[in-house]
Every structure is written in structure tokens, then in C-alpha cells.
């Protein structure tokens, strides 16, 4: 993945988490998929629209009884483009299609409430999230730091059996991707995959203003 600012990274991470959740199993987005996500970000496509379009793609595929899992974000790109075009057509000329101003207090309290009981130091972390203040960029930077801290603390609290299960799940996904991605890219992505598996198994939210958990 190409290095980006914190806001860009949060947007891409949220898309990856939405896609992985719908897919039901860990997956690394390919460089080509990240280019798709980058284009969406540059066009200003809001995450709620992307989530809705992806949900529709997965639902229709299930209705058709299609076998196998969607393994590329590019598969969903036409549906996102169509939904975005439809929303822009419904927007009054001159108004634009920008997302509404962020309700920071609501988003932060939603993130705090999304922390599961299994999260170490849940109450203290929820309190630190809820009292964040400042402009969205500053808050996003602080949330990114808290997210890294949450993952590290949770990983350290696991027993040997749980750690082994997560490591096995990561290796299984990496094995399936060998030959499709360069070896160095796979190794760089090992930590990201481990975070995906950890989030999925313990239902940890993505601590970001752009996270689906912040909109609940």
C-alpha cells in the first residue's frame, strides 16, 4: 500500500474492514484494489455509500447462489460507480454531493460504546476516546495511536492457544496469496493480516472517525 496521510489511511482501512467483514474471512487488498479505493477517495465518495454498494453486491451474489468468495475490491467497483452516479444525479445542481459535517461527539461516543467486554482496559480506553477534542485531523491522529495501542494490548493479553490460532489463520491466508503478490509485500502485510484476524475474533472496532463502528 502506498503511504498516505492519516485521513487517507483511515478511509482505506475502513473500506478494507467493510470488505473483509462482508467476505467473512481475512484478505489482503491488492495494489490494484488500493488504486480503486484511492480513486474513490479523490472523488469524495462517502463511506456510507461504499458500504451500501458492497452490501448489495454481496447480497445479490448470495441470492444467485454463486460459489466462491469475492476476492477483489475491483469486482465491486461498477456497483460503487453506479451508486455514486445515482446520488449525484439526485443532488440539486450547485449543491455538490459532499458528506455532511462530522458530528464528532456522536462518532466518538459510538466508538467508545463499540468496544467489546473482551477488550483489555475497556472502560479506561472508552473514556480516553470519548473526551478527545480538537479538529477532525487531530482527533484522527489520536485515534490511530489509540487503535495501535488497543491492538497491541489485546494481542499481549492472549493466551498461547489463541495466539496460535491467529498465527495459523494468518499463515493460511498468506499461503493462498503466494504467487499473486510479491514475497516482500506478503511479509509486510503479515502484521495487517494479524490485526484483521484479531479484530474479527474479538469484535474489536476500527478506532477511526471513518469507521463503520462510529456510525452506529
Residue 131 phi, psi (nearest 5): -100, 5
Structural contact between residues 123 and 173, judged by C-beta atoms closer than 8 angstroms: no
In this prediction, residue 210 has a pLDDT band, given cuts at 50, 70 and 90, of confident
Closest CA to 203 of 129, 125, 150: 150
Count of Cβ atoms closer than 10 Å to residue 27 Cβ:
21
- Tell whether 23 is covered by a domain: yes
The count of structural domains within the chain is: 1
The 10s digit of each residue's pLDDT in 73-112 is 888 999 999 999 998 888 655 555 454 567 889 999 999 9
The 10s digit of each residue's pLDDT in 111-146 is 999 999 999 999 999 999 999 998 887 888 898 899
- Tell whether 145 is covered by a domain: yes
User: Domain limits at 172?
Assistant: 6-215
- Tell whether 56 is covered by a domain: yes
Instruction: Look at residue 4 in the predicted model and tell me its pLDDT.
Output: 46
- Tell whether 1 is covered by a domain: no
* Helix then strand then coil, % of the chain, to nearest 5: 70, 0, 30
Mean pLDDT of the chain: 83
Question: What is this structure's pTM?
Answer: 0.66
Q: Report the SS3 class of residue 208.
A: coil
Count of Cβ atoms closer than 10 Å to residue 102 Cβ:
14
Instruction: Look at residue 176 in the predicted model and tell me its pLDDT.
Output: 77
Amino acid at each position: 500500500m502506498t503511504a498516505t496521510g492519516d485521513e487517507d489511511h483511515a478511509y482505506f482501512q475502513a473500506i478494507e474492514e467493510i470488505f473483509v467483514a462482508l467476505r467473512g474471512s481475512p484478505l489482503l487488498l491488492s495494489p490494484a484494489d488500493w488504486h480503486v479505493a484511492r480513486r474513490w477517495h479523490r472523488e469524495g465518495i462517502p463511506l456510507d455509500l461504499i458500504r451500501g454498494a458492497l452490501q448489495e453486491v454481496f447480497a445479490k451474489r448470495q441470492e444467485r447462489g454463486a460459489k466462491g468468495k469475492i476476492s477483489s475490491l475491483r469486482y465491486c467497483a461498477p456497483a460503487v460507480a453506479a451508486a455514486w452516479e445515482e446520488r449525484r444525479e439526485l443532488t440539486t445542481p450547485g449543491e455538490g454531493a459532499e458528506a455532511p459535517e462530522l458530528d464528532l461527539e456522536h462518532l466518538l461516543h459510538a466508538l467508545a460504546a463499540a468496544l467489546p467486554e473482551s477488550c483489555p482496559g475497556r472502560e479506561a480506553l472508552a473514556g480516553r476516546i470519548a473526551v478527545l477534542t480538537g479538529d477532525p485531523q487531530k482527533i484522527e491522529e489520536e485515534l490511530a495511536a489509540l487503535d495501535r495501542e488497543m491492538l497491541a494490548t489485546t494481542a499481549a493479553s492472549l493466551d498461547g492457544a489463541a495466539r496460535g490460532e491467529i498465527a495459523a489463520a494468518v499463515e493460511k491466508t498468506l499461503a493462498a496469496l503466494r504467487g499473486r503478490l510479491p514475497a516482500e509485500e506478503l511479509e509486510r502485510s503479515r502484521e495487517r493480516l494479524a490485526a484483521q484476524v484479531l479484530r474479527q475474533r474479538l469484535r474489536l472496532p476500527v478506532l477511526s472517525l471513518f469507521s463503520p463502528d462510529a456510525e452506529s
